[in-house]
Amino acid sequence: MKRYLSTVALSLVALGANAETTKPDLAKAEQIVTNVCAACHGAKGMSLAPTNPHLAGQHRAYIVKQLANFKGGVRQNAIMGGMAAMLTPEDMVSVAAYFAQQTPPPPAGSNAELAKVGEAIYRYGNASKGLPSCTGCHGPNGQGIPDQYPRLAGQYADYAYSQLKAFSAYERNHIMMNGVASRLTDSEMKAVAEYLAGLK
């Protein structure tokens, strides 16, 4: 099992490195999205359910990496593991490119008071808890850094909150995010998630 995961890890490095240089097959990607992805993420990457993430406008390399993580079992999710298992590396690049070129979600925050609390955490962190600002990795407007950190602006608050909870509980592993999320209280996670939903 460890040897398998090591092989997967090496494959992830290769996929991430090639995500921006491999020529995508957008026609095939549209077929895959229509037949496989659209039920949960929408035909154009705009999910109708707040428990499923928007993928429209997400960075291409980030989507490729997550699909590879699901396929390799590095990231655990029964549904996504099964969906990703059917994809070749070339399919992943094509699907990622398809979603990346779609119009990003509009801001959708609904609780201004909660978002204000989240903004303070997102922009300034909390020095007393050793909590860094989120802007260093995800940018002042939640656009992320291509090939490194995901776009978060306009993401569903419910989904963003669920992922912060997963990082905090080490159910989803990322050395930086585990450390950050574990320093947040439940109410702070909800506040940050609400702020992200209202960004554009």
Could you give the domains of the chain? 2-100 (1.10.760.10), 112-197 (1.10.760.10)
98-108 tens-digit pLDDT: 999 999 999 99
Q: What is the mean predicted confidence (pLDDT) over 65-85?
A: 96
pLDDT band at 41 (very low <50, low <70, confident <90, very high): very high
Radius of gyration of the chain (CA): 17
For 42-140, where are the alpha helices, taking DSSP H only? 60-72, 78-85, 89-100, 112-124, 135-138
Q: Is the model's pLDDT at 114 over the cut of 90? A: yes
List the Cα angle 139/21/137 in 5-degree steps: 15
What pLDDT, on the 0 to 100 scale, is given for residue 15?
54
Q: What is the pTM of this model?
A: 0.89
Q: Is the model's pLDDT at 8 over the cut of 50? A: no
What pLDDT, on the 0 to 100 scale, is given for residue 22?
78
Q: Is the model's pLDDT at 17 over the cut of 70? A: no
Q: In whole angstroms, what is the distance from residue 112 CA to residue 120 CA?
A: 13
64-74 tens-digit pLDDT: 999 999 999 99
Return all residues near 174 (Cβ < 8 A) that are at least 6 apart.
Answer: 167
Q: Is the model's pLDDT at 144 over the cut of 50? A: yes
**Do 146 and 59 meet the contact criterion of CB atoms below 8 Å apart?**
yes
Q: What is the mean predicted confidence (pLDDT) over 51-68?
A: 97
Q: Is the model's pLDDT at 188 over the cut of 70? A: yes
Number of Cβ within a 10 Å radius of residue 31: 13
What pLDDT, on the 0 to 100 scale, is given for residue 72?
95
What is the pLDDT of the chain when averaged over all its residues?
A: 91
Percent of the chain with pLDDT over 90: 86
Q: In whole angstroms, what is the distance from residue 198 CA to residue 108 CA?
A: 5
